[in-house]
Amino acid sequence: MKKHKIMAMLMAGALIAPTLNIGVKNVHAKGLNTVTSTALSNTQNYGCVKGNVDLVNGNGKTVAKATEGEMLIVQKNEDGQALVKLPKQGVEGYLKEANIIMIKDGNANDLSKLNKNGEIINVDTMVNVREMPSINSSVKDVLQNGTAIKITGKTAQWYSVEVNGTKGYIFEEYVSETTNKTPVVNKVAKNDSTINSKKTEVVVNNTSNKTKTNKEDKKSSVSNVAATKPSTG
């Protein structure tokens, strides 16, 4: 009898161990909304955070700050909340179900055609451009936050995009439709520079209360622009 029990335990271990290994591999392979080239074998519980919210433990104490677009794995759902893991931070806790967007596959054969410009958003490092509208699909490229893209269609939660000659799919949480191809980040920086330099020139002219020659005005304008130009990098 004892021998039979030992054999049964060994067989059960052989079945469970590979499953556990796959689970660990998946967590590290997917990570978060960053670069990865490994497809997952089981992604039914993957999602991302909606909004910037607190991750709390069973007692309601904050254990981490979850940010918009951050990848998560749902462990279980209970009473309007979900026990989740944030792979990026390596922590577990509870989020309201309303703050979770579950990631589901799209259908490349059921694509609504679009012709719009877009931009990458909600990404702290890189976002994947996948070959098909699925988190299981292989990665063709990775893009930084603020990258301008061409939107060619949409299926379910996935945008069909093109950038620098590469075509693929990006999950909708990381795409914003824009009016032109220039990243918004660059436009804001340029406008701020122009506004700040003009404001500085006005202050200098009002303070001096003196009539300046064209040559003096030119020197003042150049120095003010140099002083207010935003740094890069």
Sorted by where each begins, the domain ranges of the chain are 44-102, 184-228
Which CATH architecture best describes the domain 44-102?
Answer: Roll (2.30)
- What is the DSSP-derived secondary structure letter of residue 229? P
- How confident is the model at residue 44, as a pLDDT? 61
Among left, alpha and beta (phi > 0; psi -120 to 50; other), residue 201 is alpha
Contact predicate 229/193, CB 8 Å:
yes
Contact predicate 16/29, CB 8 Å:
no
Per-residue tokens: 169: 């799919």
What are the CA-CA distances from residue 79 to residues 51, 59, 94, 159, 225 (Å)?
20, 15, 11, 32, 58
- How confident is the model at residue 178, as a pLDDT? 85
* Sheet containing 91-96, strands listed edge to edge, beginning at the edge strand earlier in sequence: 62-66, 53-56, 91-96, 81-86, 71-78, 46-49, 100-102
Q: List, in order, residues 6 or more apart from 158 with CB less than 8 Å away.
A: 105, 106, 133, 134, 169, 170, 171, 172
- How confident is the model at residue 180, as a pLDDT? 56
pLDDT means per 10 residues in the chain (233 residues)?
42 31 32 39 76 96 96 93 95 97 94 96 93 95 96 97 96 88 40 36 36 44 35 23
- Tell me how far apart the alpha carbons of residues 145 and 173 are, in angstroms, rounded to a whole number: 12
- How confident is the model at residue 224, as a pLDDT? 40
- How confident is the model at residue 87, as a pLDDT? 92
Sign of CA pseudo-dihedral 129, 134, 139, 145: positive
Q: Cα-flanking dihedrals φ and ψ of residue 188, to 5°?
A: -65, -45
Listing DSSP states for 91-116 in one string gives EEEEEEGGGEEE-----TTSPEEEEE
Contact predicate 46/27, CB 8 Å:
no
143: closest CA among 162, 129, 161, 124? Answer: 129
